[in-house]
Amino acid sequence: MTQYQEKAKITRFEQLSENIVRLTLYSPDIAAATKPGQFVMIKAGKGKDPLLRRPFSVHQTTSDGHLQILFKVVGRGTDMLARRKEGEEISVFGPLGKGYKIEKSKPACLVGGGLGIAPLLLLAKSISRMKMDTSKDVIILGGRSADEIKALVKDFKQFGIKVLVATDDGSLGHHGFVTDVMKNTRLADDSVVYTCGPEMMMMAVKNICAIKGLQCQVSIESVMACGMGACLGCTKHTKDNRYVHVCLDGPVFNAEDLKWNL
Amino acid sequence: MTQYQEKAKITRFEQLSENIVRLTLYSPDIAAATKPGQFVMIKAGKGKDPLLRRPFSVHQTTSDGHLQILFKVVGRGTDMLARRKEGEEISVFGPLGKGYKIEKSKPACLVGGGLGIAPLLLLAKSISRMKMDTSKDVIILGGRSADEIKALVKDFKQFGIKVLVATDDGSLGHHGFVTDVMKNTRLADDSVVYTCGPEMMMMAVKNICAIKGLQCQVSIESVMACGMGACLGCTKHTKDNRYVHVCLDGPVFNAEDLKWNL
Amino acid sequence: MEFVRNGDEIFPDLRVNIGSLELKNPVMTASGTFGYAREFENLMNLHRLGAVIVKGISLAPRSGNPPPRIVETACGMLNAIGLQNVGVERFIKEKMVYLQGLQIPVIVNILGDSIDEYQEITERLSGVKGIAAIEVNISCPNVKKGGVAFGTQAHMAKAVTEAVKMKSSVPVMVKLSPNVTDIAEMARAVEDGGADSVSLINTLIGMAIDLESRRPKLANVIGGLSGPAIKPVALRMVYQVAKAVSIPVIGIGGIDSTEDALEFMLAGASAVQIGTANFINPRVSEDIVEGMHRYVIDHNLSSIRELIGALEVK
Amino acid sequence: MEFVRNGDEIFPDLRVNIGSLELKNPVMTASGTFGYAREFENLMNLHRLGAVIVKGISLAPRSGNPPPRIVETACGMLNAIGLQNVGVERFIKEKMVYLQGLQIPVIVNILGDSIDEYQEITERLSGVKGIAAIEVNISCPNVKKGGVAFGTQAHMAKAVTEAVKMKSSVPVMVKLSPNVTDIAEMARAVEDGGADSVSLINTLIGMAIDLESRRPKLANVIGGLSGPAIKPVALRMVYQVAKAVSIPVIGIGGIDSTEDALEFMLAGASAVQIGTANFINPRVSEDIVEGMHRYVIDHNLSSIRELIGALEVK
Ligand SMILES: Cc1cc2nc3c(=O)[nH]c(=O)nc-3n(C[C@H](O)[C@H](O)[C@H](O)COP(=O)(O)OP(=O)(O)OC[C@H]3O[C@@H](n4cnc5c(N)ncnc54)[C@H](O)[C@@H]3O)c2cc1C
Ligand SMILES: Cc1cc2nc3c(=O)[nH]c(=O)nc-3n(C[C@H](O)[C@H](O)[C@H](O)COP(=O)(O)OP(=O)(O)OC[C@H]3O[C@@H](n4cnc5c(N)ncnc54)[C@H](O)[C@@H]3O)c2cc1C
Ligand SMILES: Cc1cc2nc3c(=O)[nH]c(=O)nc-3n(C[C@H](O)[C@H](O)[C@H](O)COP(=O)(O)O)c2cc1C
Ligand SMILES: Cc1cc2nc3c(=O)[nH]c(=O)nc-3n(C[C@H](O)[C@H](O)[C@H](O)COP(=O)(O)O)c2cc1C
Ligand code: FES
Ligand code: FES
């Protein structure tokens, strides 16, 4: 796998809700190389503080060299990034990590919660292109409220895959959790579940999969310094108490290989 | 003297030339209290790097609560400040230091070079208001080229005091230095020279004053941490090798009290 | 919730004890960063401070180092002021009157070239009205020992402490230097010497170079590093010292917010000092007192003292 | 101007000597921040490096500390990786082949719990093709001495150096810990022990606390502070050490630009190592080599070596 470091121009800035932003970057080398579930490292500001880059899943790529990230303002780095303007350049490197392993011959169930929806858009596109039959596939998206996910739901619908929605406040789709929807959805026995979202949600998804006997791929987070295996900072425990590195061995893992301790 | 700390809104942003910016801030308490030659301390950005505030002379104040600074982009702090936008707030405290001592009954000669012109505008206004007769007064302004000072020359003309100009490249006024102009201008024997500019220029002005026997007030610079006498960081040598603090004892000094070593 | 009356207002309980010295809140201003307090009177309400610590005082006046004395570094600054101060006599005559008028404890930071000098200055301060405690800056070079800083040798640190204690009529706080291999050993040494409390950290020794002129940026070549850059080192040292001694510990180093201050308290500090941050926001100390006030209410604490050393380490 | 041929291109002279080891330029990557080099092969031209220093290697593999292992601080970061590494056998088998293929000197950073372990690992590396030098990390705890770091006691630092020197077939660079009272004393001790060069600084010990959970942010409680925040301390120590010893000094700490690197050379460093900056800009080391290239031309230097120790101190 080849990585690139690019000065990427911000070609589009979308404020999807009060604190959710989608940036479109012109970053042709990285965009061309990225597979679903992979991420990039971005320098939020120019100065030495905050010092480290921030990891973001690639949300979408286009064949004309654009790459999107979708993020929520949670701290200083994302706040600075949310103040950048169209036309400005930011430093990006990637693609990094191991993404989702698409099982072409098996029904897919994508489950995204909150910002965990980010990597699933590129995944949905890839699935729609790689698979002959997506009639048994389903995408389940969840968020706090319609505000947070309305714009995204529209984007997912373009692939002709069934999209189900849940919101905490019932303002869009099912009133409740994605896991409720998942439980109530008939999934083929050989379905593969691809998920990303808050740890609580992913654990619930994993548990449902365990019960139903479904394969479950989760995309997890960790604080990162380098994003490329150089600092050894991004460790997580496996089920059998070994360490894996999220940036190298993940961010996508088989749910059952990890230790879940909430 | 009372100081204030204010969150001042940027009400006007003027790019006077490629790297010279004039900011107008709504800062009513500081504006009302400032005397010519005093300065303010400004936080250029939000983060911890650069850490320290930057000192800027007050360029102009208005009775409706506005205060202006005029600055050149020379490093990180001024670069950040030059990227702030109208409507944004910046943290300012002041007024600080001892300004020019206006001799009401004596002819005034203001000599400003480059960004040293900044404090002279407020000084010129005060002189025009405080003195009965400004017919013997003169303002001499110098810069690299017309570009750098054209806009400023216009502002100085409003006070009805004679304005003479010199530029290094001859694109406006005299082709040469302000000190050339000063030498060729007949100044009354009891004139007081008020100057601010590059150290080289001020030393030359001081030397001319020494020869002509004129009183000379200079506004000097120093690296500052606090701007208010708390850190003791901003020392300069006096003629007799004692220390003075630029922020407390200055920034305006009698030229002959200082040690000049270039 | 326990309340304390303070003038007309009712506050949540921010009181802390530094040995026999009771402070109405844990926020002090660090020596050398707050002048003699008066400099800040227009920009903040001095009466809100837990205590004020004045610029380090020596026996004779000192004029300090030649300029440049300060230089900014990444998230920090270096200073080489060279301990400029008016000397103990002028301090008492010119500065104490104003300080006595303040309704807050005044702590006098002292420094010297020799143990005798520390002792003499303590004697001179003894009995001066309005001095709540003495803070001993032991980061100064011991002239008799070839300029090795008192604070870098346990036996010298202890000796200075003993000497000051012998003459002091008020509690003695010893301010530790971080430029040592084992800060806990130093803390134990001054505790043995009778210190009533320890404060830390003083500045880390650093340097900056101007590439163009090929010269040090400070006339003094080296200087003291302070500000947010040093906070992780300060926090670690406070944690280590708080475990090593039983006298109160005062945390210093890069504090510029309520969160920072409370982190030092969790690490074991009974109180904190605010240094470099005063330059950036002259009313930062008052803001931190207010922040603590809100924190205690929001978190339903009976007293801010609940936080002291409350770090949970598995 | 003197030129050096390097492949097809003609460069200004950036060569430096670290004792008997000649580097084509003074820029190395610091241990633990550059993996085993291969991680960076797509993002920069590894052949432009003066040398590469690999992640610290111990006798047996180590799995390191539990997460969280890193936390960002003001202009810096703390790490508590816990010396995770594949162990010397797997290093030789799995990592050296790739490294041998690079046309640049490879320096192996080693660590141990005991003097014996340092010695055994040196023995094991001896004779392995493609190793240009050994860098000895003495910031590790000496298990036999209650966990006191080798690098904080002059006699232990010297003993480790002697032990490694005895077994090493290549030059030995000793990497000093900054967490000491007198770094010059440590440098002299390892010089006495036979070190061919010293590199400094390793990380400063620091700590970070999460106020909300009241826990340390690192699972290991304390960690090593690196990045721009520590540069002033590193520069000062390099300056002090360069004056104290006659072996070459390698500067490390917060370097992220050509200017930074050259400042360390003015302070007395013959070469530099780039650490944390690799995370922020993976091709920073190559950028710095290019910056030096331009600097030597623009300033009309006959060699970059003119800058070593060229600081003018009145
Ligand atoms: C592989 C990967 C992919 C990611 N993809 C996305 C994405 O597509 N969209 C998105 O919005 N976010 C994503 N994140 C999380 C994102 O990196 C963090 O939100 C961001 O780094 C926070 O930076 P900050 O400076 O704003 O927050 P900080 O000021 O650093 O921290 C603010 C708060 O956020 C928490 N935080 C910081 N970093 C992380 C992190 N890496 N993971 C979890 N919590 C963190 C902190 O503990 C703190 O409470 C991803 C993280 C990883 C590891
Ligand atoms: C009392 C006073 C009044 C001032 N008034 C004005 C004004 O009205 N307009 C204006 O443009 N500037 C003024 N200055 C200078 C201004 O403060 C500096 O230009 C500014 O601090 C530079 O900040 P920076 O972060 O952009 O530069 P830095 O990145 O800090 O430094 C860039 C370069 O500028 C030099 N520099 C930094 N600070 C100063 C300083 N204080 N004096 C001289 N050189 C410095 C540095 O040595 C370096 O070479 C004044 C300074 C003082 C002390
Ligand atoms: C400009 C300046 C002057 C200082 N002078 C003194 C002093 O006279 N005595 C002293 O004990 N500490 C002195 N210090 C150290 C501070 O009191 C404090 O210990 C240190 O700066 C770390 O805290 P900070 O990071 O909050 O600034 C000084 C610090 C600065 C920045
Ligand atoms: C994540 C990380 C891991 C490190 N691992 C090692 C190591 O294994 N051996 C070692 O000698 N130094 C190690 N260091 C220290 C660096 O090599 C370097 O000395 C230090 O980070 C200071 O340089 P910097 O500020 O440029 O990062 C490590 C540093 C970091 C940040
Ligand atoms: S983030 Fe550095 S190894 Fe994963
Ligand atoms: S800038 Fe602090 S005393 Fe003048």
CATH number at residue D283: 3.20.20.70
The answer to whether C43 and C282 have CB atoms below 8 angstroms apart is: yes
- Averaged pLDDT for residues A94-120: 95
In the numeric block, the tokens 């960002």 are attached to D72
- The answer on pLDDT for A199 being more than 50 is yes
The answer to whether D118 and D88 have CB atoms below 8 angstroms apart is: no
- The answer on pLDDT for D10 being more than 60 is no
d(CA C155, CA C140): 15
CA distance D167 to chain C (A): 29
Annotation: CATH topology of A108-219:
Rossmann fold (3.40.50)
Residues in a beta bridge with B181: none
Residues in a beta bridge with B195: B111, B218
Maximum pairwise Cα distance, chain A: 52
Residue D131 lies in a domain: yes
CA distance C172 to chain D (A): 24
Residue C219 lies in a domain: no
Phi, psi of C115 (to 5 degrees): -60, -40
- The answer on pLDDT for C307 being more than 60 is yes
Across the interface, whether the CB atoms of D43 and A223 are under 8 A apart is answered no
- For residue D33, which residues of chain A lie inside 8 Å, CB to CB? 226, 230-231
For ligand 2, the distance from its centroid to the CA atom of residue B247, given in whole angstroms, is: 13
Residues spanned by CATH 2.40.30.10 within chain B? Answer: 4-96
Rg (CA), chain D: 18
d(CA A173, CA A153): 10
Closest residue by Cα to residue D77 from A79, C232, A76: C232
Closest residue by Cα to residue A196 from A106, A120, A253: A120
Helix (H, G, I), strand (E, B) or coil at D304: helix
DSSP state at residue C209:
E
Amino acid at A233: G
The answer to whether C251 and C311 have CB atoms below 8 angstroms apart is: no
- For residue D58, which residues of chain A lie inside 8 Å, CB to CB? none
DSSP H/E element including B127: helix B120-130
pLDDT on residue C115: 94
A-C CB pairs within 8 A amount to: 4
C313 touches chain A (CB under 8 A): no
Across the interface, whether the CB atoms of C33 and B3 are under 8 A apart is answered no
Q: For the ranges A172-181, C24-33, C263-272, C275-284, which has the lowest average pLDDT?
A: A172-181
d(CA C78, CA B95): 26
- For residue B45, which residues of chain A lie inside 8 Å, CB to CB? 47
Q: Which atom of ligand 5 is nearest to the CA of A235?
A: 4
Decide whether any atom of ligand 3 lies within 6 Å of the C171 Cβ: no
C74 touches chain D (CB under 8 A): yes
* Active-site option among D110, D115, D140, D187: D140
Per-state percent for chain C, helix, strand, coil, to nearest 5: 35, 25, 40
For ligand 4, the distance from its centroid to the CA atom of residue C235, given in whole angstroms, is: 20
Across the interface, whether the CB atoms of B49 and A45 are under 8 A apart is answered no
The percent of residues above 90 in pLDDT, for chain D, comes to: 91
Nearest CA in chain C to D72: C232
Residue D237 lies in a domain: yes
In the numeric block, the tokens 């331009």 are attached to D294
**Structure-token pair, residue D227:** 């990045």
Residue C263 neighbours by CB distance under 10 Å: 27
For ligand 1, the distance from its centroid to the CA atom of residue D188, given in whole angstroms, is: 45
- The answer on pLDDT for D2 being more than 50 is no
B-D CB pairs within 8 A amount to: 4
pLDDT on residue C1: 35
**Three-class HEC string of D65-131:** CCCCCEEEECCEEEECCCCCECHHHHHHHHHHHHHHHCCCCEEEEECCCCHHHHHHHHHHHCCCCCE
pLDDT tens by residue, D95-142: 999 999 998 999 999 999 999 999 999 999 998 999 999 999 999 887
- pLDDT tens over chain B, length 262 residues: 799 999 999 999 999 988 999 999 999 999 999 999 999 999 998 889 999 999 999 999 999 999 999 999 999 999 999 999 999 999 999 999 999 999 999 999 999 999 999 999 999 999 999 888 888 899 999 999 998 898 899 999 999 899 999 999 999 989 999 999 998 888 888 999 999 999 999 999 999 999 999 999 999 999 999 999 999 999 999 999 999 999 999 999 999 999 987 5
C10 touches chain A (CB under 8 A): no
pLDDT on residue B46: 86
pLDDT tens by residue, D187-239: 999 999 999 999 999 999 999 999 999 999 999 999 999 999 999 999 999 99
Nearest CA in chain A to B76: A47
Decide whether any atom of ligand 6 lies within 6 Å of the B247 Cβ: yes
Closest residue by Cα to residue B63 from B39, B33, B93: B33
Give the Cα-Cα-Cα angle A126, A130, A136 (nearest 5 degrees): 90
- The answer on pLDDT for D299 being more than 50 is yes
CA distances from A259 to A105, A223, C110, D216 (A): 29, 17, 56, 22
- Averaged pLDDT for residues A67-73: 96
Across the interface, whether the CB atoms of D215 and C313 are under 8 A apart is answered yes
**CA quadruple D205, D211, D212, D214: dihedral positive or negative?**
positive
**Structure-token pair, residue A221:** 């987070």
CA distance D1 to chain A (A): 34
Residues in a beta bridge with D205: D224
Helices D115-125 and D154-167, packing angle to 10 deg: 30
- The answer on pLDDT for D49 being more than 80 is yes
d(CA D187, CA D195): 9
Residue A215 neighbours by CB distance under 10 Å: 16
Closest residue by Cα to residue D32 from D158, D150, D104, D139: D139
Residues spanned by CATH 3.40.50.80 within chain B? Answer: 108-219
* CA C49 centroid distance within chain: 14
DSSP H/E element including A182: helix A178-184
pLDDT on residue B262: 59
DSSP state at residue A83:
T
pLDDT on residue A203: 93
- The answer on pLDDT for D308 being more than 80 is yes
d(CA C105, CA C20): 13
- The answer on pLDDT for C3 being more than 60 is no
Across the interface, whether the CB atoms of D311 and C206 are under 8 A apart is answered no
Q: Which residues of B touch C (CB under 8 A)?
A: 1-5, 43, 48-53, 91, 93, 222-237, 242-243
Which of C53, C73, C110, C276 maximizes ligand 3 atoms within 8 Å of its Cβ, making it the mutation to test the pocket?
C276
pLDDT tens by residue, A152-183: 999 999 998 999 999 999 898 899 999 999 98
Residue C213 lies in a domain: no
The answer for residues whose C-beta is within 8 angstroms of residue B26's C-beta and 6 or more apart is: B8, B9, B11, B65, B66
Closest-CA residue, ligand 4 atom 22, reads D253
DSSP state at residue C92:
I
- Averaged pLDDT for residues C279-292: 97
- Averaged pLDDT for residues A212-220: 94
pLDDT on residue A46: 86
Domain B4-96 CATH assignment equals 3.40.50.2300: no
Which of A224, A236, A244, A249 maximizes ligand 5 atoms within 8 Å of its Cβ, making it the mutation to test the pocket?
A224
**Terminal CA-to-CA distance of chain D, rounded, Å?**
29
- Averaged pLDDT for residues C272-301: 96
Closest-CA residue, ligand 3 atom 2, reads C32
For ligand 1, the distance from its centroid to the CA atom of residue A124, given in whole angstroms, is: 23
Which ligand is nearest the CA of C71, by number? 2
CA distance D165 to chain C (A): 26
For ligand 6, the distance from its centroid to the CA atom of residue B225, given in whole angstroms, is: 6
Residue C246 lies in a domain: yes
pLDDT tens by residue, D163-187: 999 999 999 999 999 999 999 999 9
Residue C210 lies in a domain: no
Residue C74 lies in a domain: no
- For residue B243, which residues of chain C lie inside 8 Å, CB to CB? 63-64, 67, 84
d(CA A55, CA D279): 12
The pLDDT-based confidence of D3 (bands split at 50, 70, 90) is: very low
Closest residue by Cα to residue C174 from C305, C162, C166: C162
The percent of residues above 90 in pLDDT, for chain B, comes to: 86
pLDDT on residue C7: 46
Domain count, chain C: 1
Which of D28, D31, D201 maximizes ligand 4 atoms within 8 Å of its Cβ, making it the mutation to test the pocket?
D31
Q: Please give the torsion angle defined by the CA atoms of residues C186, C191, C197 and C198, in that order, rounded to the nearest 10 degrees.
A: 0
pLDDT on residue D127: 87
Residue A138 neighbours by CB distance under 10 Å: 22
For ligand 5, the distance from its centroid to the CA atom of residue B6, given in whole angstroms, is: 43
Helices A118-130 and A146-157, packing angle to 10 deg: 20
d(CA C255, CA C267): 13
**Structure-token pair, residue D283:** 């091709």
Across the interface, whether the CB atoms of D259 and C211 are under 8 A apart is answered yes
The pLDDT-based confidence of C57 (bands split at 50, 70, 90) is: very high
pLDDT on residue C11: 64
- Averaged pLDDT for residues A214-235: 96
The answer to whether C158 and C115 have CB atoms below 8 angstroms apart is: no
Question: Which of 40-99 (D) contact A at CB < 8 A?
Answer: 40, 42-43, 55, 63-64, 66-72, 74-77, 79, 81, 84
Per-state percent for chain D, helix, strand, coil, to nearest 5: 35, 25, 40
- The answer on pLDDT for D146 being more than 90 is no
- For residue C74, which residues of chain A lie inside 8 Å, CB to CB? 48-49
d(CA D102, CA A112): 44
Residue D251 belongs to domain spanning: 3-64+82-204+226-307
D256 touches chain A (CB under 8 A): yes
Q: Is D75 a catalytic residue?
A: no
Decide whether any atom of ligand 6 lies within 6 Å of the B54 Cβ: no
For ligand 5, the distance from its centroid to the CA atom of residue A224, given in whole angstroms, is: 5
Phi, psi of B209 (to 5 degrees): -60, -40
Phi, psi of C174 (to 5 degrees): -105, 130
Residue D75 lies in a domain: no
d(CA D56, CA D83): 7
Helices (H), D171-305: 183-192, 231-244, 258-266, 277-280, 284-298
The answer for residues whose C-beta is within 8 angstroms of residue A146's C-beta and 6 or more apart is: A167, A171, A172
Across the interface, whether the CB atoms of A76 and B49 are under 8 A apart is answered no
DSSP state at residue C85:
B
Q: Which atom of ligand 4 is nearest to the CA of D76?
A: 25
Residue positions of C annotated with a catalytic role = 140
The answer to whether C289 and C27 have CB atoms below 8 angstroms apart is: yes
Which ligand is nearest the CA of D64, by number? 4
Residues in a beta bridge with B261: none
